[in-house]
Structure 1
Amino acid sequence: MVFFAHSSLSQFATCDRFCRKIENLIQEMQHKDSGVPVRAQKNFLTTIPCAFTGYDLVEWLMVRLQLSDPNEALHLATLLCQCGYYFPVSETKSLAVRDDGTLFRFQSPYFWPSQNWEPNNVDYAIYLTKRAMRNKQRHGLEEHEQSSLNKLQKMLCDKWDFVYMQAEEQVRLSKDRKKTDKVVLDSQEKAFWRVQRPGPGQFNCLLEEGKQVIMMRKPNHKKEDTSILIITDSVFDDQHEKTAHEALENRRLLHRFEQYEEHDPFLGCAQPSNPWVTDDTTMWVLNTVLVDTPTEKRVKRWSFDMMELLNDPRGLHEFKGFLEKEYSSENIHFWLAVEHLKHGTQSAVKETVEHIYKEYLAPGAPCEINIDSKTMEGTLQSIKHATRYSFDAAQEHIFLLMKKDSYQRFLRSEQYKHLLATAINPSPKKKWDFFYAPSCDKNIT
């Protein structure tokens, strides 16, 4: 007898108990003698080792759980597949188990949900990039995966060279594998990420909210035949997406607050003192535009973001000097020239656009920058009708190039380390309460 109960997970068992019961059932399936028949199976021209069919799986569940309705066995088999305990050896987009000859393989226990895997965005970005590099007909990305890849590329722009290099290396290594190993490993990896990062509307066994619990009991009411708890479909709807997005934005806001808290004169204290209160102008002197020796706070702030460095005249001066040593100063000069164009007078726009083109983009230009052909074509079309924003695409390309390469090397350079080591760290002066000044001797009467 099978009956359904809609309730919270805590009403029946903890998550650990749930995983233990499900995994006990999976271990029974894998039993050498009494489990699901596992053998080498033919898949077109490839022989898949240690595989079983959907028909064998459904038949085993009906016998083991004494089910009379095949639809119940199919439903249970599909849920177990969506939880990642076994996976289809094919490129099918659906994880629904059918009562046919579709081949499946058991997932390694190392990747079971009970292991509480928390893969980071870098791992997922490498996986998606790797698939994007391969045959689009067999390994093409779905719409939500392509969207995730685009978001990750913006989020991890400072690490994207590493991500691309790792993906490229994994693709190269996969070419040396046998066809059978390739099919199995690709299916296994795809199944793992379907569980960890399901698409919109797909089942997510890792969500606590919105879970429904099915309690299945056998006809005989023996103590050892306790109920088996499984999780049914949970819709990953817009509400969950909105909540996850809000949580991410809150974490970013909190991180920004913690990062800038020390540099906020309202939350912290002005060092060495507040000139508006004490008439001591030392703070202004230490933070002049091109001071010889900047303060430690000012130098540390350059490492927060590249715009923090470029917005500080002292930081910009140091960055220019660093790029000149590396013979790539044309990038920062082009970026500054475009910024000057955006904020210059309207009457000088056409002349400035022509000057920037001749100086940085024309063939054989004295300070020629390196941009890709697509960006160059778009820029050449834009400057035919000169505006303040004709070089936006090229400027963004150069900015990202500096941010991912030159800026990172600047922060690791001896020049920046020397600036940090020699920076001034003014200690705040002691504050005295206007209404109370502590006496030096407690014994004075």
Structure 2
Amino acid sequence: MIRDNFARRTVYLCKRTMQNKAHLELEDFEAENLAKLQKMFSRKWEFVFMQAEAQYKVDKKRDRLERQILDSQERAFWDVHRPVPGCVNTTEVDFRKLSRSGRPKYSSGGHAALNAAASSGCSPYSTSAAAAHASMPSTSNGAPATTQQTAQSSSGSSSGSGGSFRSNYYARPGLRRCTQVQDTLKLEINQLNSRLSKNVLRTSKVVENYLAYYEHRKVFDPFLTPLGSVSDPFQSQPNPWISDTVDFWQHDKITGDISTRRLKLWEECFEELLADILGRETLQKFLDKEYSGENLRFWWEVQKLRKCSCRMVPVLVTEIYNEFIDSNATSPVNVDCKVMEITEENLKNPNRWSFDEAADHIFCLMKNDSYQRFLRSDIYKDLLIQSKKKVPVKLSRDIGIRFPTLPGFSSNAVRRDANLTVGGAQTVVATSGSSSCSPTTATTTLDD
């Protein structure tokens, strides 16, 4: 019977995640509950999820009014039998006694534990927050408190309550439970603040690195290296920020090829290749040909997991695990035993950082192996050769850009014309006088 209740609860939460409605989004405690249930039904999770999908499809076929009534009834049922942590459970408390006493009775030890936790300045409702507070230096009456003293005070308050502090806390209505996500973020903030006072590199070394980076990368900056000039190794179109043409931005769209500047930027580092959407797609095609495309897909799914909403974390963790990590995964990634053990340990408490070790391992494999082979591959060499060819497309257009009337300007319209060679033919479009206020007609010719 208990197992059936857990299964019904799991199906209900899965149905909630399938509906894109704001009022049906999972709360923090519900998302944690779903993650625990998923771990409990690890072997039968696919069956439970299929059952939830089937019920969701049946509910969608119902009338709107009937569907709203059933949703309200189901939510009311679970609000009663699985209330919010910190609230009174109506199925366990005798309301006749509760009405006579006016409120539940608490032991003095429970009050002492709450007062001690409040005076410490840290939330007492989870062990991770207590550990974070114990690692940070705190003062009491001018003397620093040690970790051992904090642990003793915490254990003393728990023993004085006649049981675990957590059980006393959940028995108290009106108190908001500090979720584990908040505790993790607080611990991370404390660690980052402690690193602000430590210098990892010397200032002279940092300046030297910045100067070397500037000298190496200035050819890719259109302001530091004027486009189309002798110093420009790519002979690109004029800078769109200081000219009246946007061909620099529209090059790939107009020609259908990737510019040499963009391809050479991919050679600089692996991070530049992954940051470019087109570069990532090109690398994915190359890896698929070498039967290792799952590595890039896994790494990208982990990046999306880090930035997703809290309610979607359990769902994405399950999808990533079933597709890439599980022994019966559809696209297993190549990770060693040590990384696999760390990942399995992290999945006991799933969060958005559970796959970080595996993702870093896959990133290093791609950077040291796949990336080097990609730069030597025929795919990349063909793109380089194609980008250096003359484009057999002639565009002749006149763009009118209007500026406000300023002293020294005889007209508020600036026009330009473009001359590009098409095969062996050439067309010249003459501009009108500078005193005209309307741009000339644009003509576009394409010769095969």
TM-score (norm 2): 0.39
**Higher relative CO (CA 8 A, sep ≥ 6), structure 1 or 2?**
1
TM-score, L = length of structure 1: 0.39
